[in-house]
Structures are given as C-alpha cells and as structure tokens.
Amino acid sequence: MSTAQQADQTGANALTSHMLRMQLYVITTVAKASREQIEALLPAHLAHQVALEKEGVLFGAGPVSGEDGARKHGMIIVRADSFEQARAIADRDPFHKAGLRSYSIDRWSLNEGSLTFTVNFSDQSVRTA
C-alpha cells in the first residue's frame, strides 16, 4: 500500500471509528398475486406492521416507487440479531404466509444520519428520547 493510500485509509478509519454501525435487516417484498388479492389482505398486513412497530422491531416500512411513480416493491426494515431472526419476522407477515408476496433479505449497516425522536407513522404518536 502506498503512503497516499495509507493516509487515505487512516482518514477513513478516523471518520468511521465513531459511526453508529447499527445492523438492521431490509426485507424487500415483491407481489406474486393480483392487486385484488393483495388488497384483501392489506388490513391484516398493516395490523401486523403496526404490531411490529409497537414491539420496537419495525424500523421503517413502505412501498418503493420508481421515478414514474409506479410501485416497484415493498421495503420493511427490521431490528433483528440475525438473518434467521429477520426471516422469522418476514415469515409472519400475512402477505408472505398467504404466498401473495415473495421476499429477499439483506443486512444493512446504518452508519450515518440523524434521528432525535421516535415518530410512529401509523398513529402519528411521537416520543422524545
């Protein structure tokens, strides 16, 4: 490694040494059924998401859309200790249990950003830390 590369690495280490490094899991869901079938289970899915939110498991969730506004897939970010635990959380979702949506899971390291309070979007409650 050159001296310049070592200096760059030292600078990067200094910048990252105090970062959050929170490990979260991103569950990306894709529809496998008709919109009508999915809409029929939407209330159960939303109730499940709110329960996860209240338990402190759900970090965030919602549909992902492209530039054209068309929905591409859903994203559910959960607090879990492992892929296995994240998979167990995903498997409990009514959409997944019914086979209406498939999913994949990725681990996400949250390093940068800011948050100074908790907002529960489902009921618009706020809790300061």
**CATH number of the domain encompassing residue 101:** 3.30.70.1060
Give residue 1's pLDDT: 66
- 80 belongs to a structural domain: yes
Residue 27 has pLDDT above 90, yes or no: yes
* pTM for the predicted model, two decimal places: 0.79
- 116 belongs to a structural domain: no
Q: What are the tens digits of pLDDT across the range 51-60?
A: 999 999 999 9
Residue 112 has pLDDT above 80, yes or no: yes
The DSSP code sequence of 31-69 is E-S-HHHHHHHHHHHHHHHHHHHHHT-EEEEEEEE-TTS
Give residue 116's pLDDT: 75
Give residue 6's pLDDT: 54
- 88 belongs to a structural domain: yes
More confident residue, 79 or 6: 79
Residue 29 has pLDDT above 80, yes or no: yes
Give residue 16's pLDDT: 82
The residue range of the domain holding 88 is 21-111
pLDDT (mean) for 41-70: 96
CA distance 1 to 10: 12
- 14 belongs to a structural domain: no
Give residue 9's pLDDT: 67
- 52 belongs to a structural domain: yes
Residue 31: band (very low, low, confident or very high) from pLDDT cuts 50, 70, 90: very high
- 27 belongs to a structural domain: yes
- 51 belongs to a structural domain: yes
Domain count, the chain: 1
- For residue 52, give both structure tokens: 């996860």
CA distance 69 to 33: 20
